[in-house]
């Protein structure tokens, strides 16, 4: 019977699927950089209120230096940098194909654990990684055509499409490394909500500092005059960096990282009907089979 960690991971994949749709629409209106910066600030607001209600403090000010270091670093890597890549991939190739590429997160987690912690890779893990990468490659190498009511930048431009795939891979790498760093910061039973607040606060501070240093602050705030985009970002911030990331911390703390990552990688399956409904995307049998192959490989890594 699945425990709280597994259930939280499954909830995370559902929430991230919904979030991907909202951020894709918002990114097409105001740009992925504006979406990334704004949704983090909104998430800090949501999380601070939740932390005040449940923990009696706006922020976990009593947390030690070690949780702040590991969770803060995780926030910068996973939420600021990794998600910046992912949101641009949404605009370039769409949320469904981006999330298919994101199924490589458990594979990358395994490779990073091998490189950092010297964990030995078994024959089954190597087979599973091959399956995952084959499934992803089969989906993203399918001939592109504008099969949707709403077009993406890479539909008819091979260069933009390939860049979109690379951006999604960058997002996957950021999430994989972020999960490993979060696991370190959650040691000792550190509260998942407090961990989420720390990750979000540090990521928000880092990305806003970067934005201001580039002189993009006024343009970013000005873009939010688009009320529809603002509503979409607010909704996506609620389902993604607030509820979704909170649930992902519960999952990582209460289940093995690999199993949690595997369940959180179910988003592309859930995005098949969502992409059909919201974008009118005609998903081919090849796309469905390739997605299932990738997910089978992902599951094999940790469930054998």
d(CA 95, CA 152): 10
Query: Domain ranges in the chain?
Result: 4-303
Residue 112 in contact with residue 235, Cβ under 8 Å?
no
d(CA 14, CA 271): 9
Q: Tell me the residue length of the chain.
A: 304
Strand positions, DSSP E, 96-168: none
d(CA 149, CA 168): 22
Predicted TM-score (pTM) of the model is 0.84
**What pLDDT score does 15 carry?**
95
Distances (CA, A) of 204 to 60, 99, 198: 16, 23, 10
d(CA 230, CA 304): 44
Residue 194 in contact with residue 123, Cβ under 8 Å?
no
Q: Extract the residue ranges of the chain whose pLDDT is less than 70.
A: 1-2, 117, 119, 143-149, 257-258, 301-304
Residue 247 in contact with residue 12, Cβ under 8 Å?
yes
d(CA 129, CA 107): 6
pLDDT in tens, 79-105: 999 999 999 999 999 998 899 898 888
């Amino acid at each position: 019977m699945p425990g709280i960690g597994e259930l939280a991971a499954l909830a995370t994949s559902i929430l991230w699927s919904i979030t991907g749709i909202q951020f894709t629409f918002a990114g097409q209106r105001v740009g992925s950089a504006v979406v990334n910066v704004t949704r983090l600030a909104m998430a800090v607001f949501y999380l601070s209120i939740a932390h005040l209600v449940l923990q009696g403090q706006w922020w976990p000010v009593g947390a030690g230096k070690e949780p702040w270091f590991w969770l803060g670093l995780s926030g910068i890597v996973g939420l600021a940098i990794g998600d910046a890549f992912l949101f641009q991939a949404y605009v370039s190739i769409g949320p469904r194909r981006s999330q298919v590429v994101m199924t490589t997160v458990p594979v990358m987690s395994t490779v990073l654990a091998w490189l950092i912690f010297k964990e030995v890779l078994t024959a089954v893990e190597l087979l599973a990684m091959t399956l995952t990468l084959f499934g992803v490659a089969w989906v993203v190498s399918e001939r592109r055509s504008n099969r949707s009511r709403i077009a993406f930048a890479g539909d008819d431009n091979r260069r933009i499409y390939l860049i979109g795939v690379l951006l999604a891979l960058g997002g996957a790498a950021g999430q994989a490394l972020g999960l490993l760093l979060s696991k370190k910061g959650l040691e000792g039973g550190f509260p998942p909500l407090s961990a989420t607040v720390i990750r979000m606060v540090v990521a928000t501070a880092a990305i806003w500092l970067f934005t201001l240093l580039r002189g993009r602050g006024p343009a970013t705030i000005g873009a939010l005059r688009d009320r529809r985009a603002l509503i979409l970002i607010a909704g996506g911030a609620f389902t993604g960096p607030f509820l979704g990331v909170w649930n992902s911390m519960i999952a990582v703390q209460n289940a093995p990282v690999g199993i949690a990552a595997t369940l959180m990688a179910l988003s592309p399956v859930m995005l098949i009907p969502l992409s059909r409904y919201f974008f009118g995307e005609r998903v081919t049998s090849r796309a469905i089979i390739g997605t299932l192959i990738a997910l089978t490989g992902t599951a094999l890594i940790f469930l054998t």
